[in-house]
Chains A and B, each alone.
Chain A
Amino acid sequence: MGTYLLRRAILMIPTLLGVTIVVFGVMSAAPGDIAEMLISREGMMQPGDRAARVEYIRERYGLDDPAVVQYFRWLHKVSPIGVFIDDGERNNGVGVPVGETEKQETRRFGLKVPDFGESFIKNRPVLDLIGEALPVTLILNLISIPFVYGLAILTGLYSARHRGTALDVGTGVTMLGLWSIPTIWAGVLLIGFLANRQYVQWFPTAGLHSLRADTMAFLPSFEAGAFQRGWLLDALWHLTLPVICLSYGGLAFLSKLSRGAVLENLRADFVRTARAKGVPENDVLWHHVFRNSLLPLITVAAYIVPGLLAGSVIVETIFSIHGMGKLVVESIEFKDQEVVMAVTLISGLLAIASYLLADLLYAVADPRVSYE
């Protein structure tokens, strides 16, 4: 097991290198250069704006250099081993001195803090941007995933148990319907009907918190005779519609998947034996069939983790939530190199780690599987 893990860890490096090279290559090859980064979001610029901005960005970020040079420069910035500037104020790393910069700061070679760079468009460190967007996406997804999985397993099990009945067929059709509804439409419909004074105003229209959220107490309470929502409930209330939008597609898919897995297992020999032994049906389902059906679900879960990072652009745009999805798509659209590369690296790392985790979980779930 130990050598297996080590092997997988080492194999991570060429994979990541490959991914970053491909992404960087495609971005550099795409037509349109720095001009892409100059677009004010409203589209209409004033005469004379462009020239000054192009000069500035070119100079600052060295975008005149050939793509290969730029790639290796980025690689060097991001790697934990390399040359860094010891400017005395921040702890950038430890290493041996190898020279001096123009401002008389020492250059050192050694272990350094990876520098993910700055967004050209927003002029802020990439890590700051990711640090703001990631928690939002994580919360959205960490709430929807257990919800989706739980509901999917339950409905899948139930459908498989009562295969062929009206309920099973009905559930199947509903799931198919849910799977087919595009998120864009669903989101706008939800807002249009459930958050609209003209119909029913059960939910808020946008955002993650109410305007007065900061002044709210954390937990709900009864004050001055009226029910005060409190910060926690307010946040959950705002999260309801986005989570529904995010979950229903996954729910449909996983439900069908678990139904298939359970059906397969229900026909297996060991189940027949259990039944013959006199094990109650419930026990058969939960003690025997359930664990075996989890395997395909675990595999799928591995693919969901990178999805966590990407977030769902559509949901985030419709509900004006500023998460990773919006960040990534905006950066790609405006060719904001540093952000795209940083996200590629981080999501690549996470994807590989989650595949490894899935493989390990496989070994846990199925004792027949082992890595030696």
Chain B
Amino acid sequence: MENRFGFKDFVVVVLLLAIVVMLGLKMKQDDRQWSQLMSLHTKLDQQTRDITTLRRSLSEGALSISPREGGGGVIENDVFRRVREVREREDYATGDWLIDWMPSAPPKLNFMTGEDLYHRYAMYKVMESLGGTDFETLETVPYLARGWKVSPDGLSLDVELRTNVTFSDGEPMTADDVVYTWMNLLKNEEITDGQTRAFYSVVSKVEKLDSYTVRFSFEKVHYANVDRALGVPIHPKHFYKRFTDREIREHPAMLIGTGPYRLPDPLKYAPGEPVELVRNERYWGPPGPWDRIIYRVIENDSATLIAFRNGELDMFRATPEQQVDMVKDKELLRTKQNWIHDTFEAGYYYVGWNQVRGGKKTVFADKRVRQAMTMLIDRERLTSELLHGLAVVADGPFPRDGPQHSPSVEPLPYDPERAVELLLEAGFKRDAAGRMIQPDGQPFEATLLYSSGSEMVEKLALFLKDNLARGGINLKLDPQKWALMLKNLNENNFDLQISGWGGGSIEGDLDQVFHSRNIAEGDNTIAYSNPELDALLDEAKITLDEDERMKIWHKVHEIVHEDQPYTFLYSRKYLLWLDDRIKNVERLPVFGINYLYAGPAPLEWYVPKPLQERGQ
């Protein structure tokens, strides 16, 4: 008999392999059962502890049922003002799940090391800060704090904390946690990255005055000091001090806070998996409306739309192309609601005209030329045709409906004749062929620098080329990879460029982009210098009175409008689609909608009981 490896042997080998695989799977199954058991165990433990504490408090008579007493009960104008009214409604109900999506997986979820935009979606549902923003009045209102007092010299801030705040594991929040968050976590070079640290460097020290009072000390006077100090989410000292700096730095999760939702296990997160938040049953404030909030990661645009159509997602933010198709879809409109809104978060796109190149003034150094350029660009047509009407023309760095916007500023009109007039005034000539000739005799030619890889920006560039051609200007296009473009911007090595700034805060500071001291090192890549503007910007920084400061911003806006260092193009609108069953979606100025993606705010949307779909 030949000892050959025949078919029968093959079958035996396959069967053996199958058995091994089954054993492996069985072990995996056992593991999962084990972890389920353990989590049940922990839950039971926690509940027993809660009941014991309750029992003890009751027997000692220290517990009173009235919710308005005790330190930090109902503060009339705190961040929950609107939510309390919503909860009074007849059809208000808690329950159901909210399923949102992220187009890319956040590598880290916590505040210190999370660097992308999307981690904030989940993070701010789990963590809260000392102060929040009222959606209507735009004021900073008490959140975890009860109140605060700024010293007369503007260099220190005393904050009084609520006494009834607990973290999601039951431990109370005290001044120690606030101090730890700032001094041991936020300012720790080994943990927090340079960008975040630089942003909060205005706060030089945080110290504990007593168990529920802290004092912030600032380096210098700045109107944003208070907001920045109050805007940092508070981390629990008892949780973080168990870990080394390196572990905190490298861990993808470590998300635990005082908020209405929590990660089931603060240490468990695998980037790419959906982020699942469950309601914090121990929450100290009005309970969150949703049982669960889930963030799925779907990178592909069309897959996301299909998932939304299928009902696998409750929220969807459309691109302009998708929006145009979706509004024609009757089936979709039957079960979904569509909210097109402006928001300060959208920022703006602009054309930057470089005024100094290679040490010499360029043709754009004359403000008449810049004004002419703006009037040559048909921005209305840009927003209505290229962007399908889904953006609004920008006339400055401030949102139209915001308090910093000057009431007297309107966008410059599209007026090519007036533009040509201005150019002729500035010493240009038009030759027989219609070309614009510069004062030095050269034909007016310029190269537009923009980032390759975006279809939208490509269209913008071509649009610009066409518009400028009507003024006799030959625009050459130079798309570059982002990194190279940044390098050229930093070195002032360009004629004009298109890019955008994101909107980060409600009251934006123009220092970085327009102050002359930021030409060499900062983001003033167009070498714009106006001493009057510089002085106003410096003054605004230290003007703590809000009304006075707004007057300064109005003047700033007017100067920027007159000087046109940028031609402000547009701010895109957010194209929000929601499932119909979600109620209480409301339009608001500046915020746009009563939902904040990347900041701490109580949740106002809910699903009435009869419409709820998903269980616990």
Take A35-B483, A43-B454 as given contacts and tell me if A196 and B310 are in contact as well, using a CB distance cutoff of 8 Å: yes
Question: Which 3 residue pairs spanning A and B have beta carbons closest together?
Answer: A32-B483, A56-B194, A322-B272
**Closest CB-CB distance, B526 to chain A, in whole Å?**
12
Identify which of A31, A36, A211 gathers the most chain B CB atoms within 10 Å of its CB.
A211
Contact with B along A220-254 (1 / 0, CB 8 A): 00000000000110000000000000000000000
**Closest CB-CB distance, A140 to chain B, in whole Å?**
13
Instruction: Kindly list chain B residues whose C-beta atoms are within 8 Å of the C-beta of A132.
Output: 270-272
Contact A45 B501 (CB under 8 A): yes
Instruction: Kindly list chain B residues whose C-beta atoms are within 8 Å of the C-beta of A204.
Output: 312
Contact B299 A320 (CB under 8 A): yes
Identify which of A119, A198, A317 gathers the most chain B CB atoms within 10 Å of its CB.
A198
Contact B309 A198 (CB under 8 A): yes
State which size class the interface on B falls in.
35 or more
Instruction: Kindly list chain B residues whose C-beta atoms are within 8 Å of the C-beta of A53.
Output: 193-195
Contact A41 B117 (CB under 8 A): yes
Instruction: Kindly list chain B residues whose C-beta atoms are within 8 Å of the C-beta of A198.
Output: 309, 331
Contact A206 B298 (CB under 8 A): yes
**Closest CB-CB distance, B471 to chain A, in whole Å?**
29
A209 to B512, CA, bound (A): 45
Residue of A nearest to B97 (CB): A211
* A-B CB contact pairs (8 Å), 25 listed: A32-B481, A35-B482, A43-B451, A43-B454, A44-B499, A44-B500, A46-B501, A48-B512, A52-B198, A53-B195, A56-B193, A123-B107, A123-B108, A124-B107, A196-B310, A197-B311, A198-B331, A201-B310, A205-B298, A205-B303, A206-B307, A218-B25, A318-B303, A320-B298, A321-B272
- Number of A-B residue pairs, CB cutoff 8 Å, is 171
Contact B250 A124 (CB under 8 A): yes
Contact B199 A52 (CB under 8 A): yes
* A307 contacts chain B at the CB level, 8 A cutoff: no
* A65 contacts chain B at the CB level, 8 A cutoff: no
Instruction: Kindly list chain B residues whose C-beta atoms are within 8 Å of the C-beta of A57.
Output: 194
B residues contacting A by CB (< 8 A) are 25, 28-29, 32, 99, 103-105, 107-108, 113, 115-117, 193-195, 197-199, 244, 249-250, 252, 270-274, 276, 294, 296-300, 302-303, 306-307, 309-312, 331, 347, 451, 454, 481-484, 486-487, 490, 499-502, 504, 511-513, 521-523
> Which residues A264-305 have CB closer than 8 A to chain B?
none
Q: How many residues of A contact B (CB 8 A)?
A: 61
Instruction: Kindly list chain A residues whose C-beta atoms are within 8 Å of the C-beta of B500.
Output: 43-44
Instruction: Kindly list chain A residues whose C-beta atoms are within 8 Å of the C-beta of B198.
Output: 48, 51-52
Instruction: Kindly list chain A residues whose C-beta atoms are within 8 Å of the C-beta of B303.
Output: 188, 191, 205-206, 318-320
Instruction: Kindly list chain A residues whose C-beta atoms are within 8 Å of the C-beta of B309.
Output: 196-198
Identify which of B276, B312, B347, B513 gathers the most chain A CB atoms within 10 Å of its CB.
B312
Residue of A nearest to B521 (CB): A51
Contact with B along A22-44 (1 / 0, CB 8 A): 00000000011101101111111
* A195 contacts chain B at the CB level, 8 A cutoff: yes
A232 to B533, CA, bound (A): 65
**Closest CB-CB distance, A130 to chain B, in whole Å?**
13
Identify which of B294, B310, B486 gathers the most chain A CB atoms within 10 Å of its CB.
B486
Identify which of A39, A44, A50, A218 gathers the most chain B CB atoms within 10 Å of its CB.
A44
Instruction: Kindly list chain B residues whose C-beta atoms are within 8 Å of the C-beta of A335.
Output: 483
* Interface of chain A, main secondary structure: loop
Residue of B nearest to A36 (CB): B483
A38 to B108, CA, bound (A): 16
Contact A205 B482 (CB under 8 A): no
* A128 contacts chain B at the CB level, 8 A cutoff: yes
Instruction: Kindly list chain A residues whose C-beta atoms are within 8 Å of the C-beta of B481.
Output: 31-32
Residue of B nearest to A47 (CB): B512
Instruction: Kindly list chain A residues whose C-beta atoms are within 8 Å of the C-beta of B487.
Output: 31-33, 35
Instruction: Kindly list chain A residues whose C-beta atoms are within 8 Å of the C-beta of B194.
Output: 52-53, 55-57, 59
Residue of B nearest to A52 (CB): B198
Q: Which of A36, A46, A232 contacts B482 (CB 8 A)?
A: A36
* A207 contacts chain B at the CB level, 8 A cutoff: yes
Instruction: Kindly list chain A residues whose C-beta atoms are within 8 Å of the C-beta of B311.
Output: 197
* A260 contacts chain B at the CB level, 8 A cutoff: no
* A368 contacts chain B at the CB level, 8 A cutoff: no
**Closest CB-CB distance, A333 to chain B, in whole Å?**
10
Contact A123 B197 (CB under 8 A): no
Residue of A nearest to B191 (CB): A123
* A7 contacts chain B at the CB level, 8 A cutoff: no
Contact A47 B310 (CB under 8 A): no
Residue of B nearest to A205 (CB): B307
Contact B29 A218 (CB under 8 A): yes
A33 to B484, CA, bound (A): 8
Instruction: Kindly list chain B residues whose C-beta atoms are within 8 Å of the C-beta of A89.
Output: 244
A residues contacting B by CB (< 8 A) are 31-33, 35-36, 38-53, 55-57, 59, 89, 118-119, 121-125, 128, 132, 136, 188, 191-192, 195-198, 201, 204-207, 209, 211, 218-219, 231-232, 317-322, 335
Instruction: Kindly list chain B residues whose C-beta atoms are within 8 Å of the C-beta of A52.
Output: 194-195, 197-199
Instruction: Kindly list chain A residues whose C-beta atoms are within 8 Å of the C-beta of B513.
Output: 47
Residue of B nearest to A48 (CB): B512
Instruction: Kindly list chain A residues whose C-beta atoms are within 8 Å of the C-beta of B297.
Output: 207, 320, 322
Instruction: Kindly list chain A residues whose C-beta atoms are within 8 Å of the C-beta of B274.
Output: 207, 211
**Closest CB-CB distance, A355 to chain B, in whole Å?**
24
A59 to B115, CA, bound (A): 18
Q: Which of A47, A205, A318, A319 contacts B522 (CB 8 A)?
A: A47
**Closest CB-CB distance, B558 to chain A, in whole Å?**
20
Contact B347 A49 (CB under 8 A): no
Contact B523 A50 (CB under 8 A): yes
**Closest CB-CB distance, A119 to chain B, in whole Å?**
8
Contact B502 A45 (CB under 8 A): yes
Instruction: Kindly list chain A residues whose C-beta atoms are within 8 Å of the C-beta of B347.
Output: 44
Can you name 5 extra interface pairs (CB under 8 A) apart from A56-B195, A195-B310? A39-B482, A41-B116, A51-B198, A218-B32, A319-B303
A42 to B298, CA, bound (A): 15
Contact A318 B116 (CB under 8 A): no
A192 to B108, CA, bound (A): 31
Contact B113 A123 (CB under 8 A): yes
Contact B483 A33 (CB under 8 A): yes
**Closest CB-CB distance, A365 to chain B, in whole Å?**
12
Q: Which of A36, A121, A123, A196 contacts B249 (CB 8 A)?
A: A123
A168 to B511, CA, bound (A): 73
**Closest CB-CB distance, A249 to chain B, in whole Å?**
19
A55 to B195, CA, bound (A): 9
Instruction: Kindly list chain A residues whose C-beta atoms are within 8 Å of the C-beta of B197.
Output: 52, 56
Contact B252 A124 (CB under 8 A): yes
Q: Which of A32, A196, A197 contacts B486 (CB 8 A)?
A: A32
Residue of B nearest to A55 (CB): B194
